[in-house]
């Protein structure tokens, strides 16, 4: 993970915030890197805690690349990942002039959802989301909370009305998942699809459940 990776193609931005579902974030990162993408990563303070709490110390932000290689295989080395501080509002992602082709916030806390819905730009995650909306670029929000309050539902509506794809962390079961990774593959596949990136992370629905997954 470098602080300034050389770029040959527009980057894809990934933000991790403090809602449950760290595995969705790591699978999404791995899927993008396996496909050779330049990934710009921002992790909120509670996102950092989430990675450690749910996946262990080896998944801490400063050890994330070795964690991804260990969990998903050496294919993740095909891409490059750059880490930005969530406090750095002067980072590339804060400007519409920067060639970033989309942002996914996975998982997205209700706090960050509210900040995006109301255009607060208090940190780099919120500012990068604001940039995606104003530039009419893909913004994928993966909220996780249950049940949801009226204000949380309304914040999702505001984001959807502004052009974001609201993609709740709701994996399907028609593909007969056997492991947590199968569930994470489904959400990561949905995210890549929403970003316009081809994938085979889950089987397409063929009209009937396939026995044996």
Ligand X SMILES: Cc1cc2nc3c(=O)[nH]c(=O)nc-3n(C[C@H](O)[C@H](O)[C@H](O)COP(=O)(O)O)c2cc1C
* Binding footprint of ligand X on the chain (CB under 6 A): 17-20, 44, 46-47, 53, 109-112, 144-145
Nearer Cβ to ligand X, position 22 or 76? 22
Nearer Cβ to ligand X, position 27 or 144? 144
Q: What Å distances lie between residue 164 and 159, 160, 195, CA to CA?
A: 5, 5, 11
**CB 160, min distance to ligand X, A:** 17
**CB 54, min distance to ligand X, A:** 8
DSSP code of residue 60:
S
Nearer Cβ to ligand X, position 79 or 143? 143
Nearer Cβ to ligand X, position 44 or 175? 44
Nearer Cβ to ligand X, position 76 or 117? 117
**C-alpha to C-alpha distance for 39 and 192, rounded to whole angstroms:** 13
- Token pair, residue 96, equals 């519409």
**CB 113, min distance to ligand X, A:** 7
CB closest to ligand X, residue no: 18
- Token pair, residue 175, equals 């593909």
- Token pair, residue 4, equals 């300034």
Hey, how many other C-beta atoms are within 10 angstroms of the C-beta on 210?
Answer: 11
**CB 204, min distance to ligand X, A:** 29
**CB 51, min distance to ligand X, A:** 11
**CB 210, min distance to ligand X, A:** 31
- Token pair, residue 109, equals 């806390």
Q: Give the count of alpha carbons within 13 A of 89, CB side only.
A: 8
Peptide bond into 121 cis (omega under 30): no
Nearer Cβ to ligand X, position 39 or 43? 43
**C-alpha to C-alpha distance for 60 and 54, rounded to whole angstroms:** 10
Please identify which residue in the block is written with the tokens 């249950």.
146
């Amino acid at each position: 993970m470098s602080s300034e990776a050389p770029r040959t193609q527009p980057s894809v931005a990934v933000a991790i915030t403090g809602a449950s579902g760290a595995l969705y974030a790591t699978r999404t990162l791995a899927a993008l890197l396996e496909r050779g993408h330049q990934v710009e990563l921002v992790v909120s303070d509670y996102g950092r805690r989430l990675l450690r709490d749910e996946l262990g110390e080896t998944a801490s932000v400063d050890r994330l690349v070795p964690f991804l290689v260990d969990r998903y295989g050496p294919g993740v080395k095909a891409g490059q990942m750059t880490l930005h501080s969530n406090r750095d509002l002067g980072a590339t992602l804060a400007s519409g002039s920067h060639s970033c082709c989309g942002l996914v916030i996975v998982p997205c806390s209700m706090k960050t959802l509210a900040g995006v819905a109301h255009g607060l730009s208090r940190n780099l995650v919120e500012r990068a989301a604001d940039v995606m909306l104003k530039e009419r670029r893909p913004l994928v929000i993966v909220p996780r909370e249950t049940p949801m309050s009226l204000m949380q539902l309304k914040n999702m509506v505001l984001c959807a009305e502004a052009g974001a794809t609201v993609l709740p962390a709701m994996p399907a079961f028609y593909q007969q998942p056997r492991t947590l990774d199968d569930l994470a593959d489904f959400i990561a596949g949905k995210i890549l699809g929403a970003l316009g990136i081809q994938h085979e992370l889950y089987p397409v629905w063929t009209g009937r459940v396939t026995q044996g997954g």
